[in-house]
Amino acid sequence: MLRARSSAPEIMDDAAQDFAAFSAALRDLERINRMSLAYRPTLHWLDALARRTGARRMSVLDVGAGGGDMLARVAAWGARRGVAVELAALDRSPHAAAHARARHPGLPVRWIMADLFDLPAEERFDAAICALFTHHLDDETLVRFLRWMGARARLGWFVSDLHRHPLPWATVWAGVRLLRMDPMVVHDSTVSIARGFSRADWEGLIARADVPARLRWAFPFRWTVAGEGGA
């Protein structure tokens, strides 16, 4: 079942979902992200980027920003690290921005509601990050997306997403039911893992995109892809 990436649809990608359903799912996804240490790889990469570049100010774009929980952690990271961060969130769903503003009031984020490939070419950022979004893309679109990330980031870009494996699939299948999570999350959580990646998947995608990037495994059951920006 998990030998190749699944193309099964996720309910969250259905534009017909209303705000209440979308927001309920985002609340439970944030719970999963906390429990699964989903923020840690991105924050560790930002630490390394700040050390490497010596940047004291940094504009950060979060692609597929969802409920804004990653950018809330980036803001806290910047405050601890002494890095002034200018935050931007890209998500095509208007429900994402509305949920994030309610969930994280006062968080200084510029929301961009658009398809990522429609973003004007002049829009560039010091760092572009993307967590748990690329599994929503098919392979052809993902190859294009990796090139897009390199073109958008001046200092560097970073992707973190799910390792496709029976162990996390079974763990998540049981966990979302035990915790009585939102029905959308119950359905989409294991579909997300089935749409995730193996090392061979990422190696092939990076080669097809022809971008310089470092592929690493991160605990628990994540793959990260990092590249330098176009300056």
Number of domain units in the chain:
1
Task: Assign residue 155 the CATH number of its domain.
Answer: 3.40.50.150
Residue 229 has pLDDT above 90, yes or no: no
Angle between helices 19-35 and 94-103 (to 10 degrees): 60
Q: Give pTM, 2 decimals.
A: 0.95
Residue 13, domain member (yes or no): no
Is position 22 within any domain? no
Q: Is a pLDDT exceeding 90 seen at residue 196? A: yes
Q: Is residue 29 part of a domain?
A: no
75 within a domain of the structure (yes/no): yes
Q: For residue 226, what pLDDT band results from cuts at 50, 70 and 90?
A: very high
Domain holding 129, by residue range, is 40-163+198-228
| Separation between Cα atoms, residue 59 and residue 82, nearest integer Å | 14
Question: Residue 174: which residues within 8 A CB-CB, separation 6 or more?
Answer: none
Domain membership flag for residue 190: no
- Report yes or no on 176 lying in a domain: no
Q: pLDDT class for 72, splitting at 50, 70, 90?
A: very high
Q: 82 lies in a domain?
A: yes
Give a yes or no: residue 4 inside a domain. no
**CA–CA gap between residue 77 and residue 85 (Å, rounded):** 9
pLDDT digits (tens, 9 = 90+) for 73-129: 999 999 999 999 999 999 999 899 999 999 999 999 999 999 999 999 899 999 999
Least confident of 7-11, 13-17, 86-90: 13-17
Is the confidence at residue 16, as pLDDT, over 90? Answer: no
